[in-house]
Amino acid sequence: MPTQTTPALEPSFIDSHAAVEPDLGTQLRAYELMRTADELARLYEENKAVTAKYVHATARGHEAIQLATAFHLRATDYAAPYYRDDAMLLGLGLTPYELMLQLMAKRDDPFSGGRTYYCHPSLRREGFPVIPHQSSATGMQAIPATGLAHGLHYLESQGLLQDAAETPVVVCSIGDGAMTEGEVAEALQMAVLHQLPIIYLVQDNDWGISATGREMRAMDAYEFAAGFKGLQRLRVNGADFGDSYAGLAAAFDYVRRTRGPILVHAKCPLLGHHTSGVRREWYRGDNLAEHTTNDPLPRLHGQLLDLGVAEAELQQLGAQACALVEADYQRALAAANPDPATFADHEFAPPAVTEEAGERTPAGADKALMVDAALHAVDDILAEFPEALFYGQDVGGELGGVFREAALLAKKYGDTRVFNTPIQEAYIVGSTAGMSAVGAKPIVEIQFADYIWPALNQLVEELSKSCYLSMGKFPVQALIRVPIGAYGGGGPYHSGSIESTLLTIRGIKVVYPSNAADMKGLMRAAFLDPNPVIMLEHKGLYWSKVPGTEDAKTTEPAAGYVIPLGQAAIAQQADPEKLRQGETCVVITYGMGVHWAKTASKQFAGQVEILDLRTLNPLDFEAVQAAVRRHGKALVLTEEPLLNSFAESLAGRIQRTCFRQLDAPVFTLGAANLPAIALNVELEKQMLPSADKVATALAELLGY
């Protein structure tokens, strides 16, 4: 997507913010909710033997800016609060009782059913802004929140927003300490590059646990934001409700009109503990007394008295807040705990594809290379689903990917749908969480598997946990394409295999096709799946140029062909007579391993079945067990270094469940246990498995 023209900041922007003041009714509402937040913090402290069983943080000192923000959010907006934003949640209309259900990890916690911390909301409720799941919000949330705005920007550009009259805004709330995260800079870069409708609300209390602002940063967030051309900036007094309300009014108005980003920097006192587990008395000293002089609650109290509100009326509002909090606390104490039997619910959202469908070998169809099957699968998806978009490094423009796996898609669908990103793997992956939450359907690409590591934080903390911790409200529909594997001289940063690392991440699916037909069918299933799916695509199989990979080129299935995730396939059958005589074995493998096994098995005619896993998670372990029990001898083959790998783990499972049917130990074969693949092709050959090495292992296994 090309960079858009940055809208000039209107001269009236700062002046208009100073002129917009909250009316008396709004100020009284803010006062009552400030008293409610104060009573929550007080009750939590007085009952810390109960309330601090699980860690929590409160809004004390930050209430003014949080309530001002909440009062400007609409039901059509999106919010990404951070872990001390309980006053913001009260301002949106959530009750102390609902917050306490999460505080005590109760069954009816509306956000997570007792699965995650206090003030970690995820909400889809009529009349409220959408609050997608996010992690503990110490900087990581900036990317998914920006992804929300990016998704809205895309849907708006295509006329796909459900209510075209609305101008939804995203609010990303963040502490100033978290602004030093590299992922925050990635988010800001994309927000200004594409002019996205987002407000970054930075609550600055000069502390990051026990570290002061002087220790952590060379500049505050407002000064830092000056380096992002096109990101508007605004300072407000976060301890003053009137100034905060006026500033947020101007910020929301700016984003709704211009659809561009703004950063609001709010200085606030920190009056509570950093969290219940880090006591303020351990390190604050005289600083707490200094911060108390800037408490937003007595400040608003005095302002209301100056406006003619009677002291008795304010005391009555305080008494009502106290009574509500105490009553809700007693209700929450008595509320039911989660049913332990539900502990595993919502690991994944139910799959959309459960049966193979469409034509795998249509009459008259030509054979296709794997790279072309992948390209055509994405082309079919973009043609069929207008909410789908495709982005990553070099996939847009003229090149269409360094492997030409997206060739001409940008020209066909426009650079709003198929576009290049900066070298920002964290943003590429993490933005899909926000995209999915607004109804966009992202397909993204990491250029090489060796470069996925900067994205792991987002993959683990944001994507993988979202469905489980939101009780199924926010599964992340994301198709993440990753070219993988060695292909002859690619060297240490373009040849790696990473599936074992990915398979230790719960809550994501991992697919690994070995031929063109499976590539096309699995690609569609991965796109349609409502969960995050990583599609590992072996570079050495893309063009069938590597000797022995000719079978990766297959008849191309028709558009719409789909294979369910989690179904293995028999890539080669053994001779039934040799099977009956007990002269056979099975090779359990995937990707390039299928082709090594096929070549090696030519030396053992009819004696080798090859089971192609196709999907590594979910794993078709039933097919694995059935194959092992058929033959009694098994080789698990991988391209990865073998030590502590998925292959070794699978071999261990087989030994445990098929022990009585085994006629030999489960053999394993993989790459040498070295940290990288050498550039020199002869050194590479020494490290990796090959058809010859597989044949040696098969000879030993069959002769056991």
Q: Pick the closest to residue 453 from 476, 421, 425 (CA basis).
A: 425
Give the CA radius of gyration of the chain. 29
Please say if the pLDDT value at position 128 is more than 70. Answer: yes
Cα–Cα separations (whole angstroms), residue 248 to 59, 238, 253, 357, 572: 18, 11, 8, 52, 65
The band of 388, judged by pLDDT with boundaries at 50, 70 and 90, is very high
Q: Assess whether the previous peptide bond of 350 is cis (omega < 30° from 0).
A: no
Please say if the pLDDT value at position 167 is more than 80. Answer: yes
Once rounded to an integer, what is the mean pLDDT over residues 693-700? Answer: 98
pLDDT number for residue 397 = 82
Cα–Cα separations (whole angstroms), residue 583 to 37, 224, 417, 596, 701: 74, 70, 54, 20, 10
Phi, psi of 239 (to 5 degrees): -95, -5
The band of 124, judged by pLDDT with boundaries at 50, 70 and 90, is very high
Please say if the pLDDT value at position 620 is more than 80. Answer: yes
Tokens of 185: 């800079």
Once rounded to an integer, what is the mean pLDDT over residues 423-441? Answer: 96
Q: How far is CA 382 from the centre of its chain?
A: 22
Angle, vertex CA 194, rays to CA 193 and CA 200, nearest 5: 85
Task: Enter the pTM of the model.
Answer: 0.94
- Find out whether 674 and 687 touch, Cβ atoms under 8 Å: yes
Please say if the pLDDT value at position 11 is more than 60. Answer: no
Once rounded to an integer, what is the mean pLDDT over residues 439-468? Answer: 96
pLDDT number for residue 136 = 82
Q: Would residue 494 show up in a list of annotated catalytic residues for this protein? A: yes
Cα–Cα separations (whole angstroms), residue 682 to 4, 361, 599, 669: 49, 38, 20, 19
Residue-wise pLDDT tens digits, 494-527? 999 999 999 999 999 999 999 999 999 999 999 9
Cα–Cα separations (whole angstroms), residue 681 to 185, 595, 678: 39, 19, 8
Please say if the pLDDT value at position 261 is more than 60. Answer: yes
Rounded CA gap, 404 and 498, in Å? 22
Residue-wise pLDDT tens digits, 523-577? 999 999 999 999 999 999 999 999 999 999 999 999 999 999 999 999 999 999 9
Please say if the pLDDT value at position 5 is more than 90. Answer: no
Residue-wise pLDDT tens digits, 80-92? 999 999 999 999 9
Please say if the pLDDT value at position 7 is more than 50. Answer: no
- Find out whether 43 and 325 touch, Cβ atoms under 8 Å: yes
Structural domains of the chain ordered from first start: 27-336 (3.40.50.970), 367-555 (3.40.50.970), 569-703 (3.40.50.920)
Once rounded to an integer, what is the mean pLDDT over residues 172-180? Answer: 93
**Active-site residue, from 17, 494, 538, 631:** 494
Rounded CA gap, 19 and 195, in Å? 26
pLDDT number for residue 410 = 86
Please say if the pLDDT value at position 401 is more than 80. Answer: no
In this structure, of 10-19, 60-69, 70-79, the range with the lowest mean pLDDT score is 10-19
Tokens of 103: 């505080």
Residue-wise pLDDT tens digits, 189-214? 999 999 999 999 999 999 888 788 88
Amino acid identity at 341: A
The band of 13, judged by pLDDT with boundaries at 50, 70 and 90, is low
DSSP for 330-344 reads: HHHHHSPPPPGGGTT
Tokens of 273: 């503990």
Once rounded to an integer, what is the mean pLDDT over residues 427-432? Answer: 97
The band of 357, judged by pLDDT with boundaries at 50, 70 and 90, is very high
Residue-wise pLDDT tens digits, 263-284? 999 999 999 888 888 888 888 8
pLDDT number for residue 699 = 98
Please say if the pLDDT value at position 358 is more than 70. Answer: yes
Q: Kindly state the percentage of the chain with pLDDT values over 70.
A: 97
Once rounded to an integer, what is the mean pLDDT over residues 31-36? Answer: 98
Please say if the pLDDT value at position 2 is more than 90. Answer: no
Residue 632: exposure state from Cβ atoms within 10 A (0-12, 13-18, ≥19): middle
pLDDT number for residue 3 = 38
Once rounded to an integer, what is the mean pLDDT over residues 688-701? Answer: 98
Residue-wise pLDDT tens digits, 292-350? 899 999 999 999 999 999 999 999 999 999 999 999 999 999 999 999 999 999 999 99
* Strand spans (E) along 68-150: 78-80
Please say if the pLDDT value at position 457 is more than 50. Answer: yes
How are beta strands 367-368 and 554-555 bridged, if at all? antiparallel
Please say if the pLDDT value at position 359 is more than 80. Answer: yes
The band of 9, judged by pLDDT with boundaries at 50, 70 and 90, is very low
Mean pLDDT, all residues of the chain: 94
Once rounded to an integer, what is the mean pLDDT over residues 397-411? Answer: 81
